[in-house]
Amino acid sequence: MNDQHTWTLRETLIVAVLGAVFGVLYLGWVQIWLIAQAIFGPVTMDVVMGFWFIASIIAAAIIRKPGVAFTSEVLAAAVQIMLGSPAGLLLLVTGAVQGAGAEVVFAATSWRKYTLPVLMAAGVGAAVFSFIYTWIRFDYGALAPGLLIVMFVLRCLSGALLGGLLGHAIVEALYRTGVLSGLAIDHAKRTARA
């Protein structure tokens, strides 16, 4: 297996492609969020937020090396900016915060565990980091404590389910196609079966 800290060209390209694909999907997800928010109100963002963490979880589960979760989210943010997102350059900060939240969880396992519970925890990590960031950016301190608790719990659940669980399902589906052959996920699965 390759050195834990060195990315191959194939791995780099995969992270770039995932960042680009999810950058496009993230922009589309904004439209879903806006429609849902119009119907269900302000906590909708916390309910749907977990999908905006999924690039970091999928990329990390496939490549399994330091920096992958962080980089894939920053790339997804950059793609959104290039496609004209009205959020502008602040998206780079958002992507960095979300990617860092997921990366911290993978770092806690020394980038060695990518089980479903770890992927769901990475989604929660991204949720916690993003909640702190949005608290500062949007002055959540002015909100009622009960509402803050609901928002935080919903965002963590969304991170676990739309980020971690859905990310795991997508990675497993991709793995079954054979396109991930020879990558770290493939080596880990073959070793586990041996």
Residue 4 has pLDDT above 80, yes or no: no
Q: How confident is the model at residue 40 (pLDDT cuts 50, 70, 90)?
A: confident
Position with higher pLDDT, 35 vs 194: 35
The two three-digit tokens of residue 36, written as one number: 């849902």
Backbone φ/ψ region at 115: left (φ over 0), alpha (ψ -120 to 50), beta: beta
Ranking 18-27, 34-43, 56-65, 183-192 by mean pLDDT, the lowest is 34-43
* One-letter identity of residue 139: D
* Contact of 167 with 22, CB cutoff 8 Å: no
pLDDT tens string 12-37: 999 999 999 999 999 999 999 999 99
Q: Hey, what domains does the chain have and what are their CATH numbers?
A: 9-186 (1.10.1760)
The two three-digit tokens of residue 70, written as one number: 């962080």
Share of the chain above pLDDT 70, in %: 98
* Contact of 95 with 77, CB cutoff 8 Å: yes
pLDDT confidence of residue 79? 97
pLDDT tens string 74-114: 999 999 999 999 899 999 999 999 999 999 999 999 999 99
pLDDT tens string 136-162: 999 999 999 999 999 999 999 999 999
Please give the Cα distance from 160 to 153 (Å, whole number). 11
* Contact of 56 with 70, CB cutoff 8 Å: yes
Q: How confident is the model at residue 47 (pLDDT cuts 50, 70, 90)?
A: very high
pLDDT confidence of residue 1? 43
Contacts by residues 76-83 (CB-CB < 8 Å, ≥ 24 positions apart): 76/18, 76/19, 76/20, 76/22, 76/23, 76/26, 77/23, 78/19, 78/23, 79/19, 79/20, 79/22, 79/23, 79/24, 80/23, 80/26, 80/27, 82/23, 83/23, 83/24, 83/27
* Contact of 79 with 20, CB cutoff 8 Å: yes
pLDDT confidence of residue 42? 83
Please give the Cα distance from 166 to 55 (Å, whole number). 11
Q: How confident is the model at residue 181 (pLDDT cuts 50, 70, 90)?
A: very high
